[in-house]
Amino acid sequence: MTPDQATTANPAIDRVAPHRSRMKNMFREILKAPITAKFGILVILIYGFVAIFAPALTPYGETEIVGPEFDVWGDTFILGTDGLGRDMLTRLLFGARNTVGIAFLTTVLAFLIGGLTGLFAAIYSGWFDQIASRIVDVLMAIPQLIFALMLLTIFGTSIPTLIIVIATLDATRVFRVTRAVSLNVVVLDYFEAARLRGEHIFWLCIREILPNITAPLLAEFGLRFCFVFLMIAALSFLGLGVQPPTADWGSMVRENAVLITYGDITPILPAIAIAILTLGVNFLVDWFLHKSSGLKDGH
């Protein structure tokens, strides 16, 4: 047997080859992406790295008091200290872990709730669809921020409660998008053929519907993440989001807002971090929507 034949006959290599090919194709697409998409990818990678390795990147603990209150920028404290004497750079990096991490978990939970409900509503287009749609209409009739403030006031402001409340409210938007794109699939012949074969509901969702709605759902996931991220920051700024002493960008703006009157830009840094991440995710979503639409780049 020749080396080429031995390579071809190796099942392990046969399984790895398609994966390598997909990775190469993805890398080529990223290289050909516009500068805005590359900026978005870079921002997401940097924020993800900081969120994961925040304890290793910071010289102090998240809640450790290390100096005088509102110390100025310098060699000891690069971004100064806050009103309790905690290092602002440390708080800013830990804020990435808390704010981004909580927003990501909340968005995933919202997609599990809203996505599955939207799929079932599209497949069972009868009483289940009507009940689920009316419940969603009622929830969406109330402004989301006000509704979240009311629920958090009633049930408390712990992180699990915050995640469940925001995910439940945001799942209404995911439900409507998932239901809308799924309805375009369930009326096609191949879906009817699968249903007539007696395929299970989860087979219909995973094998027949999801492959055809992945692109709009991924784009919606990016947009939902931005909205959830901004809502958590807004709730923390109002005092009903992530609670002290946990570092969070929204609460950091509130705690250090008094410095603005003295010309100190320290309170603006968390707001800048929020804006950069939101901008990067939107750039990436725009590029992904353009690629999935099949349109060619203009020259």
CATH code where residue 92 lies: 1.10.3720.10
Helix (H) or strand (E) holding 105, with range, is helix 101-123
Tokens of 201: 């509901």
Higher local confidence (pLDDT), 93 or 72: 93
pTM: 0.83
Instruction: Please give the pLDDT value at position 142.
Output: 87
Percentage with pLDDT > 90 across the chain? 20
Q: pLDDT category, 294, cuts 50, 70, 90? A: low
Task: Taking each helix axis as running N to C, give the angle between helix 210-238 and helix 159-186, from 0 to 180 degrees, rounded to the nearest 10.
Answer: 150
The verdict on residue 236 lying in a domain is yes
Query: At a CB cut-off of 8 Å and minimum separation 6, what does 118 contact?
Result: 174, 175, 176, 177, 178, 179, 182
Does residue 193 register a pLDDT over 90?
A: no
Higher local confidence (pLDDT), 226 or 31: 226
Does residue 19 register a pLDDT over 70?
A: no
Min mean pLDDT across 158-162, 213-217, 287-291 is at 287-291
The verdict on residue 265 lying in a domain is yes
Q: pLDDT category, 22, cuts 50, 70, 90? A: low
Contacts made by residues 58-63, CB under 8 angstroms, sequence distance 24+:
58/87, 58/89, 58/90, 58/93, 58/94, 59/87, 59/90, 60/86, 60/87, 60/90, 61/90, 62/90, 62/91, 62/94, 62/245, 62/246, 62/247, 63/245, 63/247
The verdict on residue 141 lying in a domain is yes
The verdict on residue 227 lying in a domain is yes
The verdict on residue 131 lying in a domain is yes
- CB neighbours (10 Å) of residue 138? 10
Number of domains in the chain: 1
Does residue 5 register a pLDDT over 70?
A: no
Q: Considering the chain, what is the average pLDDT of its residues?
A: 83
Higher local confidence (pLDDT), 264 or 179: 179
**Which residue from 257, 274, 237 is spatially nearest to 70, judged by alpha carbons?**
257
Instruction: Please give the pLDDT value at position 170.
Output: 92
The verdict on residue 11 lying in a domain is no
**Which residue from 283, 286, 289 is spatially nearest to 42, judged by alpha carbons?**
283
Query: At a CB cut-off of 8 Å and minimum separation 6, what does 170 contact?
Result: 106, 107, 110, 114, 144, 224, 227, 228, 231
Percentage with pLDDT > 70 across the chain? 89
- CB neighbours (10 Å) of residue 135? 13
Min mean pLDDT across 7-21, 121-135, 241-255 is at 7-21
Instruction: Please give the pLDDT value at position 166.
Output: 93
Does residue 299 register a pLDDT over 50?
A: no
The verdict on residue 27 lying in a domain is no
- CB neighbours (10 Å) of residue 34? 13
Instruction: Please give the pLDDT value at position 112.
Output: 93
Does residue 17 register a pLDDT over 60?
A: no
Its domain, for residue 280, covers 37-293
Is the CB of residue 163 less than 8 Å from the CB of residue 109? yes
The verdict on residue 24 lying in a domain is no
pLDDT per position as a tens digit, 29-54: 777 778 988 899 999 999 999 988 98
Alpha-carbon dihedral 143, 169, 115, 95, rounded to 10 degrees? 110
